Amino acid sequence: MTRHFLALNQYTKEELDGLFTLTRELKEKQKQCIPHRFLEGKNVALIFEKSSTRTRVSFEVGVAQLGAHPLFISSGTSQMGRGEPIKDTARVMARYCDGVMIRTYGQEIVEEFARYSAVPVINGLTDLFHPCQIMADLFTVMEHKGKYEGLKYAWVGDGNNMANTWIEAAAILGFDLTLACPTGYEPDRQVWDWAQQRATSSITITEDPEEAVRDADVINTDVWASMGQEQEQKEREVAFQGYCLDDALVALAKPDCMVLHCLPAHRGEEITDSVIEGPRSAVWDEAENRLHVQKAIMARLMGGA
């Protein structure tokens, strides 16, 4: 049976831990210039309906380092952009390629694509989930803290795809998470209910950013208006007043806390320049680790690593 990577809720704690172990091995191999071409001679389609920097570059480089050929496909220049049924594209792509990554809007798009695909499909981002990014975030935490367990995590900002995936991760992996979101900008209700039924850890939500970050080990945030929400920018700027990660807010966390941001950042809005450039920022390690985590996911799904 073909295995996909569409959301963290499809995986067990043991399986995610196994991906972290493989990520560590692949990152070490790269640093030592040891070949790790698990996908030698294969082809991986990279389908983009949303623009990207980190997702495109990290996947293209990762596919090449694994020995495969990356195929960048923009929906605007393909038949998908002209309304070809998703199931038709999925079945054809599986005849040409050994795996597919999709960065798109609706979660239902990647799920339908995977339903009709005979090869693994990876969610590079949807409006509901961003699983590759959270895996990179948690791997970064492990590098800096030695573990992800037993730490207090804080999310400050919009209840978006990042927040939803953090909620899933907390429920599956068993760590405490507090989210600070303004009224009307809470995480997805179905995701929240699923996590509350499953979690053995504390997953809570508040409107108070200070409450969320107090004594936190890890603080994470994202832009206030994600792609497709640009028309809401002005009203969101009003709603999110007080939700900026600045020096005063970060000072409420533990002295050795680490700050994460998936990028791109709107400096001066959700995070200040002094914080993202400061000693607590792990943003650049986090960005690099997208490459290593995604290589592990592809190697496991497409190469049998």
Tens of pLDDT, residues 121-167: 999 999 999 999 999 999 999 999 999 999 999 999 999 999 999 99
Residue 50 has a CB neighbour count (10 Å cut-off) of 17
Asked about 130 being catalytic, the answer comes back as yes
User: Is 70 exceeded by the pLDDT of residue 266?
Assistant: yes
Supply the mean pLDDT for the chain. 96
Same domain, 176 and 237: yes
The CATH number of residue 65's host domain is 3.40.50.1370
Amino acid 181 reads: C
Q: Which residue's structure tokens are 């959301």?
A: 7
In terms of domains, do 114 and 144 share one?
no
Dihedral sign, CA of 55, 58, 60, 66?
Answer: negative
Catalytic residue status for 37 = no
| 41 and 117 within one domain | yes
> Is residue 198 domain-resident?
yes
The confidence score (pLDDT) of residue 64 equals: 98
Do 94 and 161 belong together in one domain? no
For residue 216, the enclosing domain spans 133-286
Answer yes or no: do 151 and 262 share one domain.
yes
pLDDT band at 198 (very low <50, low <70, confident <90, very high): very high
Q: What integer pLDDT is reported at residue 232 of this predicted model?
A: 81
pTM of the model: 0.96
22 CB neighbour count, 10 Å cutoff: 20
Residue 2, in any domain of the structure: no
User: Does residue 84 sit in the same domain as residue 163?
Assistant: no
Same domain (yes/no): 66, 100: yes
Active-site choice (4, 107, 262, 280): 262
**24 belongs to an annotated ligand binding site:** no
Q: Report the side by side order of strands in the sheet with 43-48.
A: 69-74, 43-48, 99-103, 121-125
SS3 102: strand
Verify whether residue 82 is a known catalytic residue. Answer: no
pLDDT of residue 273: 98
**Same domain membership, residue 157 and residue 105:** no
Residue 51 in this model has a pLDDT that exceeds 90: no
Q: How many CB atoms lie within 10 A of CB 49?
A: 22
Q: Is residue 106 part of a domain?
A: yes
Active site residue 133: yes
- Paired tokens of 16: 């995610």
Tally of domains within the chain: 2
Output the pLDDT for position 191: 98
Whether residue 1 lies inside any domain: the answer is: no
79 appears as a binding residue in the annotation: yes
Same domain, 81 and 190: no
Residues 118, 227 within the same domain? no
Q: Is residue 228 part of a domain?
A: yes
- Note if 290 is an active site residue: yes
List 47's β-bridge partners, or say none.
Answer: 73, 102
Least confident piece of the model among 71-85, 164-178, 186-200, 244-258 = 71-85
The CA distance from 159 to 180, in Å, is 9
Q: Would the pLDDT of 67 be above 70?
A: yes
Catalytic-role residue among 98, 137, 217, 222: 222
On whether residue 28 sits in a domain, the answer given is yes
Distance CA 216, CA 151 (A): 8
Number of H helices, E strands in the chain: 12, 9
